[in-house]
Amino acid sequence: MPHCVVCAITSGQLEAHVVFENRHIVCFLDHMPINEGHILLCPREHLADITDLPDGLLAELMLAAKALANKLQGCLKCDGVSLLQNNGRFNELGHFHLHLFPRFQDDGFSWVSRGSRLAGREALARVDDLLRNAGD
């Protein structure tokens, strides 16, 4: 069995509830959902971070997210959906995966749980300048 749990699922060696798949991507239910209906969208190939993905593969994953978001909203009558993707040391699986999960009023999930605050104009301008000068 592959060392990577996502590769074990995409190769069929580990069971999962696959909700969509094609030659390049596999989408399955997260066994530790933030909300019921939480889906992980993954490339079949073992690629770690968003910067490793060819543009066409990334586009394919986002189009699958769009289609699955539409299905979630239709099937689960959720109030919306959220997308989340972690990289580097925050990629807990080591294999690229895009989280898509339904949202419900008062579900308790919050993007500001760690105390996000308004950034000052100077801070915004500094980061803006860094990004503009970073090149492609």
Q: Site residues (CB under 5 A) for Zn ion?
A: 4, 6-7, 46, 95
CA distance 136 to 67: 30
Which is nearer to Zn ion, 4 or 18 (by Cβ)?
Answer: 4
Which is nearer to Zn ion, 6 or 40 (by Cβ)?
Answer: 6
Q: Where is 84: in which H helix or E strand?
A: strand 80-84
Q: How far is the CB of 133 from Zn ion (least distance, A)?
A: 34
CA distance 102 to 83: 9
Which is nearer to Zn ion, 47 or 76 (by Cβ)?
Answer: 47
Tokens of 10: 């995409």
| Contacts made by residues 109-115, CB under 8 angstroms, sequence distance 24+ | 109/34, 109/35, 109/82
Which is nearer to Zn ion, 38 or 95 (by Cβ)?
Answer: 95
In the bound state, the residue with its beta carbon closest to Zn ion is 4
Is 17 annotated as catalytic?
Answer: no
102, 72 Cβ separation under 8 angstroms: yes
CA distance 120 to 118: 6
Q: How far is the CB of 6 from Zn ion (least distance, A)?
A: 4
Q: How far is the CB of 88 from Zn ion (least distance, A)?
A: 16
Q: How far is the CB of 104 from Zn ion (least distance, A)?
A: 31
Catalytic residue positions?
99
